[in-house]
């Protein structure tokens, strides 16, 4: 995992509420443990027409959404079944952050563990961002704020361990491996004491 310290991008808006993990990545694409390539299946049944061509009505297919790595999503984003493939698909599609007033807990945990910023903001801030698609934002993970173009800031909170892992570019296993010597010493001491 790469360190995530700061992100600057325009926003894309997907205002629908209750976007579940099956809409993010349909279950029929969960047959792989590889992350690469899942981006082309992100929002598959919504993004593409039955013939496989782009759905011109899908908000992320609009020209102004191209290249945006911050997604402002409708309330209750990521609800539904738990699947790590959902944040993998978003990341592979170029989305590096999701901002919303309500993000499903399991999705949020999976996202943060995989380097996707899943940031909960207030209802008022959320409504404002939904009404201003394409705005340029800077997300500062160390300072836990989103910088607005007018100099204003939106504060957010990340669980301290998730924030540590994001800033240092390590997942849970990587964190444990960083402490392998201390773990070995502890285990050796426990064996000697037994």
pLDDT at 183: 80
SS3 sequence of the chain: CCCCCEEEEEEEEECCCCCEHHHHCCHHHCCCCCCCCHHHHCCHHHHECCCCCECCCCHHHCHHHCCCCEEEECCCECECCCCCHHHHHHHHCCCCEEEECCECHHHHHHHHHCCCEEEECCHHHHHHHHCCCCCEEEEECCCCEEECCCCCEEECCCCHHHHHHHHHCCCHHHHHHHCHHHHHHHHHHHHHHC
Mean of the pLDDT values across residues 77-104? 96
Q: Into how many domains does the chain fold?
A: 1
What residue numbers bound the domain in which 39 lies? 6-193
Q: Residue 86 pLDDT > 80, yes or no?
A: yes
Q: Is residue 16 part of a domain?
A: yes
Give the CATH number for residue 15.
Answer: 3.20.19.10
The whole-model pTM stands at 0.91
Q: Does any domain span residue 1?
A: no
Confidence band, pLDDT 50/70/90 cuts, at residue 187: confident
pLDDT (tens digit per residue) in 118-174: 999 999 999 999 999 999 999 999 999 999 999 999 999 999 999 999 999 998 887
Asked, for residue 143, whether it belongs to a domain, the answer is: yes
């Amino acid at each position: 995992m790469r360190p995530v310290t700061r992100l600057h991008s325009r926003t894309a808006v997907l205002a629908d509420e209750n976007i579940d993990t099956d809409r993010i990545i349909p279950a029929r694409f969960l047959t792989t443990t590889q992350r690469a390539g899942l981006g082309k299946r992100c929002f598959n049944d919504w993004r593409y027409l039955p013939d496989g061509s782009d759905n011109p009505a899908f908000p992320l297919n609009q020209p102004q959404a191209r290249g945006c790595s911050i997604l402002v999503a409708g309330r209750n984003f990521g609800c539904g079944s738990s699947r790590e493939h959902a944040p993998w698909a978003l990341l592979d599609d170029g989305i590096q952050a999701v901002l919303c007033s309500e993000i499903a807990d399991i999705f949020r945990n999976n996202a943060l563990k995989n380097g996707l910023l899943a940031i909960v903001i207030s209802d008022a801030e959320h409504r404002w961002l939904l009404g201003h698609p394409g705005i340029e934002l800077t997300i500062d993970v160390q300072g836990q704020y989103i910088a607005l173009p007018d100099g204003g800031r939106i504060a957010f909170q990340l669980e301290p361990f998730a924030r540590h892992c994001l800033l240092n570019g390590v997942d849970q296993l990587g964190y444990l491996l960083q402490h392998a010597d201390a773990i070995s010493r502890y285990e050796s001491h426990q064996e000697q004491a037994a």
